[in-house]
Amino acid sequence: MDPFHWITLWFRPAIVGVICCTVSACASSTAAVSDLRSQAQLELNQSAYTEHRDGAFLVSAVRASYLGADKFRTVVPYNGTYVAGTVIVDTDARYLYLVNANSTAVRYAIGVGREGFQWSGEATIGRKQAWPIWIPPAEMIARQPDLIPYRDGMPGGPGNPLGARALYLYQDGRDTLFRLHGTREPWSIGKQVSSGCIRLFNQDIIDLYDRVSIGGRVIVLGLQPS
């Protein structure tokens, strides 16, 4: 018998035990680091949706219950054919993407039009406005007579349905009456509830507003039949 065989047999359980403990410690350490990174990322994400002053108005914080990993503004890979600066609205997925120049896109969670009020097609950003005035369309006033006091416009502010910013979509130089805008109803992001316009958290529409230019291309993809 190999004179070292008994030593090998005696040490094997100890070595295995040490290896197992080491691997276990590494796994625990890796998990702890991962948890810390996840927590740090969560706090970083949430910090983008805190209360802050914007000009004459206060942008309210978005409640944690309205947020989540699927609703935080984030940068994602993009390998499509649209050029940088293009806005792509995926109404099915409830996301809006702004294409970057480095094979990425900024992704924003959105609320979309309810059944019978959707719009799809291609447009350009014809106008941008901070804390915009809201003028309800005549058709909306006919459906909701309580809006008659605002037929000449509701001043901009936290109670305005367009929220902190609005991007006005034009086709062939004419206003389509559809908007990309903020909202006073953050709970509605991710849902199909609007009268056709695309709404974002106020913090997100401010971010998008600062990144896009008048004349920018907007592609709105329609809802796919279920």
pLDDT of 155 over the 50 cut: yes
How many percent of the chain have pLDDT more than 70?
76
Closest Cα partner for 86 from 75, 74, 97? 97
Domain 69-221 CATH class label: mainly beta
Average pLDDT over residues 202-220: 97
Query: In the chain, what are the domain boundaries?
Result: 69-221
- What tens digit of pLDDT does each residue of 165-194 get? 999 999 999 999 899 999 999 999 999 887
* Bridge pairing between strands 165-171 and 174-181: antiparallel
pLDDT on residue 154: 83
pLDDT on residue 69: 85
Q: Mention every residue, 6+ apart, whose C-beta is less than 8 A from residue 211.
A: 98, 106
* Bridge pairing between strands 121-130 and 165-171: antiparallel
Average pLDDT over residues 3-7: 32
- What tens digit of pLDDT does each residue of 53-77 get? 999 999 999 999 999 889 999 999 9
pLDDT on residue 7: 27
Rounded to two decimals, the pTM is 0.79
pLDDT on residue 10: 32
Task: State which H helix or E strand residue 218 sits in.
Answer: strand 217-221
Active site residues: 181, 197
